[in-house]
Structure 1
């Protein structure tokens, strides 16, 4: 087979793969994100800690009240990151387990209000040495074995346990090859 034909076949395969990645497998329709409302700003009493890595001194929390498993396949939550220097970062985010992507919906302001992002985009979840909370949330809590949790209670239970029970049997790796 000539190089031109091989490239054409590869291009066709990539287009089909991309089209399939953005469809609802059960219905065969294109995936569509549901409406997203900003949650109440988190209270310290509702924060559930989760471990990210020994490579960071930051502390990570999920606001238990904000956690949801949407009918559109997106797990939405507020993450609070407290740095060793005393700063606190608050973001409202979502994870698509089937596509291994995350999205920022809003950032928290100092006055405890939300600053919505005007053009939040879905981005791939990548393994990072530092502050890899998207990868950890996906693998260990919200998408064990690549399957989305069925409810917010299931996610809160996984956070309280320190890991989703099904995450002990991971069969997949992230985009950088890390388990």
Structure 2
């Protein structure tokens, strides 16, 4: 083997090893038979603070600012769900939504909403929906959260600390 081919081979082996280390143990779970998958009962919406929000990139045309409070992020590695509170701030209102992302399927769900500091209202007819609408366009904030650090591809990150670090750095991982 030539010296150049040996260096290329070593680079490939190193890249494969780094990729294997990038997904933490337990971050992937079996989701092969969706009929067997069952969601756990979501806990009540956690308290949030608008002064702690990590901004979510939104389209330039939007006057609404969106952010997620890092202290509300909860990971259930067993079910593969990341739950969080996202806050929308406009010129005249501040509204919140308690949601979940399921990395394995690229879906999100809304559990409850809060309008302008009022009580949380449970969303009883909420179902898991794709982070892409029927035309293939991303539903902006769940997609950005999944891609921005809540998921590693189709695997859920198991550490809230790691999710927060990734969301703050603004690095975009490959996602769907």
Counterpart position of 2:143: 135
Which residue in 2 is equivalent to 1:106? 112
5+ unaligned residues in a row in structure 2: which ranges? 1-28
**Equivalent residue, structure 1, for 2:24:** none
Give a deviation string over 1:10-57, Cα, whole Å, max 9, x none. Answer: xxxxxxxxxxxxx94489971110121113331123322122332322
Q: Give the paired residue count.
A: 144
* Root-mean-square deviation over aligned CA pairs: 2.5
Q: Larger relative CO (CA 8 A, sep 6+): 1 or 2? A: 2
Name the counterpart of 1:42: 48
Give the TM-score taking structure 2 as reference length.
0.71
**TM-score normalised by the chain length of structure 1:** 0.70
Structure 1 position 151 matched with structure 2 position 140: no
Does residue 80 in structure 1 map to residue 55 in structure 2?
A: no
Distance 1:40 1:62 in 2: 12
CA pair 47-108 structure 1, distance change in 2 beyond 3 A: same
2:15 matched to which residue of 1? none
Of 52-61 and 67-76, deviating more is: 52-61
Counterpart Cα distance in 2 of 1:123 and 1:65: 25
Deviation at 1:137, TM superposition (A): 1.2
CA offset digits 1:45-73 (Å, max 9, x no partner):
33221223323222111011110111311
Q: Unpaired runs of 5+ in structure 1?
A: 1-22, 174-179
Q: Distance in 1 between matches of 2:58 and 2:152?
A: 16
